[in-house]
Each structure stands twice: as structure tokens, then as C-alpha cells.
Copies of this chain bind each other. A is one copy, B any other.
Amino acid sequence: MSMSLFLSVPLILSLIYDENHLAFLLPAVLSFPLGFLLFELTESSAKLTLKEAFLIVSLGWFIASFIGAIPYLFYHFSFVDALFESTSGFTGTGASIIENLEVQPKSLLFWRSFEQWIGGMGIIVLFIAILPKLSVGGRQLFAAEAPGIDVEKVRPRIRDTAKILWKIYIFFSISLLIALIFEGMPFYDAFIHTFSTMGTGGFSSKNESIGFYSPLIQYTITLFMFIASTNFILHYKALRGRFGAYLRDEEFRFYLILGLISIIIITVSIFPEVGNLKEAIRLSSFQAISIMSATGFATADFDSWSWLPKLILFYLMFMGGSANSTAGGIKAVRILLILKYCLREIRKTIHPSAISSIRLNGRVVDEKIINTVVSFFLLYIFLFLTSSLILTSFGYDLITSFSASITCISNVGPGLGLVGPAENFAFLHPIAKLTLVFCMIAGRLELLPLLMILYPGFWKE
């Protein structure tokens, strides 16, 4: 039913710009009764079982992507292409099959970016309020301090948490929108890029992406990509006056330091070619933060860079942003916990009798959560390896297959090689595209809800 509401925005735009309004009218009209039907069918059940919750989370994203794909079908997109583009939108990936953006209808490009912003709203709630309850990938640990969740109460208020976080999301979105308009970006473009930035999506309305705009705009978007990929619980604390919350958080420090190291290495690597230190810093910080935050905007064709900066960007694609943000990827806090897990094992081998626990922000982390985090990482790698294998079976080279897989699983957008930032995903075989559609949703939902419904044991009993 919300979809129906969301679709009315591009519908109005299509009327203003005199474009095909049936493209939005049809799904808007279709989704309302569909939603109402689902609502009526499920309302009676007093309490969700764990399995039902997983099923709803997984199917929800698929259904949204399907409905969101309908407008594209009106513009000569094949079904697979429409689904790819729509899924890329809702999952905040930003991988595209559109070759020339600047000839596309304005209402469609608006919808594309709007999907990413809507997806961002969905993912914040999913990450902070829903997945922690399902114990997915250690989420219960990362969301422990979520606002509105009162541990003393039997029934934690998901609704309250969602409202608080959405307010923060909207606050930053409006701030960015005003900043972009103030910095000279046209009104329409400002909306498009605000949506894509805050949803860490990466869809642009320009073929040159953010490279089209002024350096000031580039730095503004760099900052907001970083904000969108930072833990929203920290934003919540900061907005209530506790600015120290950022630097007191171990994940934030780790994320910041990794970002700075990456920017320094990339700057040094591309400096000889760029020839201008200021520009080298601007390009490297934009690209590094764009990939780390899993946004995927570009101000340079980083695929033409030398191998060291490319490999760093490739590594960053795995990590992605912080927990409890709109960013995709394994998340900085999980990488941090895994490094601690490895160091502990080295310590244990030296001192077999010593008992050592892993701490995060000064508190001991439960071993069960550690195991969940580690297996999440392993499943992530496993999905990456499998997807790459499927892609190479269509003859695509290793760099293309590897980077297309990880950029979709981590919801980044551009990859390397044939799917580099100056290229697109149009040339891929339909089955390869469907594989990546699966990867985008699997990555977005943090694997387990989707892997679970594929696991035979799920359907027993």
C-alpha cells in the first residue's frame, strides 16, 4: 500500500513533464489492492513465527522490486532488465543497464533514484529493528543501543525506533537537498542525487555521474555518503548533543582510519598520473568513500587507474559501510570483530591456557555472536565465489566476474573491467543478470533470511 503512495510521486512528475503516466499509474493502482489483500490475509495472525518473519522480509524485497519494475517495462526494457534496474534501486546498489542516461524520461530517472531512497528507509528499520530480533549475523549486538528499544519492556517498540530513525534520515536528506541547491545544482538533479546519496545507492541522472558537477558539490556528496554509511544510532546520540559518541565508538574509529589509509594510498598511487595533489585528493577521497559507503557514484573512471588503487577499492567493496546505516557490505564492525578473533587465536596458540574474550567498546562479546559474525563472513565469501563461478561460465573474465559479483552482493554499483564505472551491466546474459539480482537482494538482507528459505530444512515440519 505504501508502494502505491510512493509511485504517485513519479506519477505527478510524469504529468508535469508530459511523459508516459500510465507507467506509474498502473503499478500504483495495482499495488494498493494487492497490499490490502496481503494486509487482510495476515492481520488475523496474532504473533509471527520466526519462519514467517524471515519469509516476509525476503519476499517483501522481491515483491517491491517486481512492482517497482513495472514502470521500466513501459520504456522498452526487457523484463529481466526492468527487474535488474528496479532491484538495483530498492537494494541501494546502483548497478545499471542503462547505457545513455541523458536521453531517458525524467520521471523514470526520478523513480529510479527514489527507489533507492525508499530502500534506504526500509533497510534502516530492517537492520536496527527487525534483523536483530532474528539474530542475523550478530545484528543483536550492533543494535543493542537502538533508540526506542527499551530492554525492560516485554514488547520492544519497533514502531518508535523506526520513527526516530526515519526522522534522522529525513533530516539529513533535507540538509543535503538544501546544500546541493545552494551550491548550484538544478532542483531536479538535487532531488535525484539526494535520494541516491542518502540511500547509498549511486544512481545518477548524468552519464558522468557526480563528475559532471563542481568540486564543491563533489565534496558535499563525499561528506553525505560518509554520513549515510555511518551508524545511525551514533547520529541519534550526536543529534541529542552527545557528539563524543562518534569517536567513542570502536567501529566508527576503525571505519574512519581504514578510509583515511585508503585515501592516502590511492592519492599517492594516482598522483603521478593526475599531476595535481589537490585534484588527486579530491578524486581519491570521493572514490574511496563512494565505494566504502557502497554508494557507487564516480567522479573518475577508476577502472583506468593502476592495479594498487583498484585492488584497494576491490577490498573496500567487501567491507562496505558501518552497521545500522543504509550502506551494504560485510560492515566495518564485523571485519573488526573478525580481526580480533584471528588475533585471539594467535594469542591462544602461544598461551594455550589463557582465557581471553573479545571485547567491543569495552564490553565482552558473547561467543555465540562471534560465531554468528564469523559464519556470516564465510557465507558472504561463499556467495561471492559461487556467483563469480556462474558469471565466468558465460565467458566473462575473472576481474569482471569477481567485481560484478561483489559490487552486487555489497550493493555498491560499479565494478572493474567490463562493469567498471564507465561501463554498465547491459551486455550481461539474462541468467547472469538474474544471478546478480539474487546477489543484490541476498546481500541487502544480510544473506541469512534468503539462504534460510533456500535451505531444505526450513520447509520441514
Min CB distance A139 to B, Å, is 11
Question: A392 contacts B311, CB within 8 Å?
Answer: yes
Contacts of A392 on B, CB cut-off 8 Å? 306-308, 310-311
Q: Is A452 an interface residue (CB 8 A)?
A: yes
The answer to whether residues A341 and B397 also contact, given A346-B451, A350-B452, A385-B315 and a CB cut-off of 8 A, is no
Residues in chain B near residue A362, CB distance under 8 A: none
> Of A56-64, A293-301, A370-378, which stretch is located at the interface?
A370-378
Taking CB as reference atom, which chain B residue is nearest A347? B457
What residues of chain B lie closer than 8 Å to A51, measured between beta carbons? 350
> A168 near B: Cβ within 8 Å?
no
Q: In the complex, A458 Cα to B349 Cα: how many Å? A: 10
Inter-chain contact A306/B395, CB cutoff 8 Å: yes
Interface string of A418-461 (1 = CB under 8 A from B): 00000000000000000000000000000010011001011000
A374 partner residues in chain B, CB cutoff 8 A:
374, 378
Interface residues on A, range: 35 or more
* Contact between chains at A455 and B350 (CB < 8 Å): yes
List, in ascending order, chain B residues with CB within 8 A of A347's CB. Answer: 455, 457
Inter-chain contacts of A345 with B (CB < 8 A): 371-372, 375-376, 379
Are A396's CB and B135's CB within 8 A?
no
In the complex, are the beta carbons of A375 and B342 less than 8 A apart? yes
Whether B389 pairs with A346 at a CB distance below 8 angstroms is no
Q: Are B307 and A401 in contact (CB under 8 A)?
A: yes
17 A-B pairs whose Cβ atoms sit less than 8 Å apart in the complex: A135-B349, A306-B392, A306-B395, A307-B396, A307-B397, A311-B398, A311-B401, A312-B389, A315-B385, A342-B375, A345-B375, A345-B376, A346-B379, A346-B451, A346-B455, A349-B372, A349-B448
Please measure, in the bound complex, the distance between the C-alpha atom of A392 and the C-alpha atom of B311, giving whole angstroms. Answer: 8
Flag whether A86 is at the interface (Cβ < 8 A).
Answer: no
Task: Point out the residues of chain B lying under 8 angstroms from A393, CB to CB.
Answer: 308
